[in-house]
A = this chain, B = another copy of it.
Amino acid sequence: MSDDVRGVPAAAIRSLVADCFSAAGMVADDAACVAELMVEADLTGADGHGVMRLAHYMRRFKAGGFNRAPNISVTQTAPATALVDGDNGIGHLVVSRATRTAMTLARAAGVAWVGVRRSNHAGAAGIYAAMPAAEGMIGIYAAVASANHMAASGSAEPLLGTNPLAIGVPTNDGAMVFDMATTIVSYGTIKKYAMQGRAMPPGWLVSATTGEPITDPKQSAEGLLLPVGGYKGSGLALMLGVLAGVLNGAAFGRAVIDFNAEDKRGTNTGQFILALDVARFMPMEGFRAAMDVHLGDLRAASRLPGVDAIRLPGDRRRYCRAERLRDGVPLPPALVAQLDDVAQGLGVKTLAQRLA
């Protein structure tokens, strides 16, 4: 951790976030739920989906873009399926409700698929896939991203998002969570490079007019994020968008509203969550033991020159969580100042006051 970055205890951030949402008009339980999930993103290293988003969320609350007191409705449509209407609530509330529904249905039916419509940005994909994994289930989650920055293969027009896929599996070492965007990097990464004045490697972004690489992050407005693995990544983004968006009557393609550019209109964001009960396939003990063997084999395998350790999906997440629970979440000074502004604007205690 560099000198100018403070490790802030998760509990302090959590109480700040919850107080801000309460002050913005959300009931206390909902505010606590959103705070918990946002800080979980920070703890697990998904910084771009954590407290960094608070100012933006508050701006959107103020502008009327979020429903402060959404009447989230869950309609069970079959023994193992449900459709959740988020009533334009913030995504964390809506998707966590959908995930709990999927887990309840899957406990009875073995598997469940819950679709979500009229939701919003829900933060880090991995946190929802991890929830079933914490209770002996496999979780699979995908979302339509809250802005379109990718084009279909060959196209110059961004009609697809970074649509993420997350898969969580229970192991003896906690939830093993795989969480991938379908673009090589996120738009947030490019913004970070722009702020730092750094050139980007070719391969992240191409010009929508020439198809040539853009390495100057200042030109990103005219660029298209490149998919993972070329046409495979853009095809996967499309299919996930169909499953999370079109199937639920949620926004996709031209109907997607750029959540960063516009604060007022509901985004009708779509997501889905699947929960699958491991015990319907093999005894939980046997599954965990088999995972131990296989993950051990993969870690112990010979390495390429210059590689110090083999990292498997979720390793960084697990390591980061342990470290940040111990040392606090590193918040850059600019972010702390921004959070102070938000807190003062809403009349709640700042981080410094909470830590005094």
Contact = CB atoms under 8 A, between A and B. Distances in A.
Interface of A: 77-81, 83, 108-113, 115, 138, 151-157, 159, 165, 167, 169, 178, 180, 184, 206, 208, 210-211, 228-229, 231-233, 235-236, 238-239, 242-243, 246-249, 252-254, 274, 276-278, 280-282, 286-287, 290-291, 293-294, 297-298, 301-307, 309-313
Contact of A235 (B159, B180, B184): B180
A236 B180 contact: yes
A178 B78 contact: no
Contacts of A113: 110-111, 276
16 contacts: A152-B298, A153-B310, A154-B303, A154-B310, A155-B302, A155-B303, A155-B310, A157-B302, A169-B239, A178-B235, A180-B236, A206-B304, A228-B232, A238-B313, A246-B294, A249-B286
Contacts of A78: 108-111, 277, 280
A243 B276 CA distance: 10
A180 B232 contact: yes
Given A81-B109, A246-B290, 19 more contacts: A77-B281, A78-B111, A78-B277, A79-B80, A152-B312, A154-B309, A155-B303, A156-B304, A180-B235, A211-B305, A242-B291, A242-B294, A246-B291, A249-B281, A252-B290, A252-B294, A253-B297, A254-B294, A254-B297
B302 A247 contact: no
Contacts of A249: 281-282, 286, 290
B154 A211 contact: no
A282 B242 CA distance: 13
A208 B239 CA distance: 34
A154 B236 contact: no
Which applies to chain A's interface (DSSP): helix, strand, loop or mixed?
Answer: mixed
Contacts of A293: 253
Contact of A238 (B157, B276, B280, B312): B312
Contacts of A305: 210-211
A43 to B, nearest CB: 20
> Which residue of A111, A159, A302 has the most chain B CB atoms within 10 A of its CB atom?
A111
Given A78-B110, A169-B239, A115 B294 contact: no
Contacts of A306: 211
A153 B301 contact: no
